[in-house]
Amino acid sequence: MLRLSAVLRVLPVLLATLVLGATAGCGGSDEGSKDSATPAEAVAEIGKIKTLLATAVAQARAGDFQTAEETVGDAYVDHFEPVEAPLGERDQDLMEELEEAISTTLRNEIKDGKAADEIETTVDAINVKLDKAVELLQS
């Protein structure tokens, strides 16, 4: 069994290692690259978002609202979040509109069990805004 004195001698080194390791990751280039995309990468992510939103509509049509909601959540977290910074640099209002539409409006419609046609109408409106985002990111 370890003696308390040995643990107390090692503890400051362990804590310093943990703190330095944690702060080294803060703001580092590897961390930021996952959260933000270049404009070209953002355009590719928007393509993935559109595909996932179409999948969510099909899932809602099949009555699988839970999976549809998860699909929209994945579209937002995995694919829209990296788009936020480059799009926000070009049009902050559009970025915020898309963020609200995908993360809240669409997910709430699915959670509330709205008709698939209503969900599809919302997705169509989101797609129009996503198309505008692509144009801005490519300019």
Transcribe 69-112 into DSSP letters: HHHHHHIIIIIIHHHHHHHHHH-HHHHHHHHHIIIIIIHHHHHT
> For residues 83 and 34, what is the distance between their CA atoms, to the nearest angstrom?
11
Sequence-separated (6 or more) residues with CB below 8 Å from residue 36? 82, 84, 85, 86
pLDDT at 28: 39
Q: What is the largest CA-CA distance in the chain?
A: 69
pLDDT at 79: 95
pLDDT at 77: 95
CB of 110 within 8 A of CB of 65?
A: yes
Q: Which of 4, 92, 95 is nearest to 45 (CA)?
A: 95
- Specify the pTM: 0.74
- Per-block mean pLDDT, blocks of 10 residues, the chain (139 long): 48 46 40 68 97 98 97 96 95 97 97 97 98 96
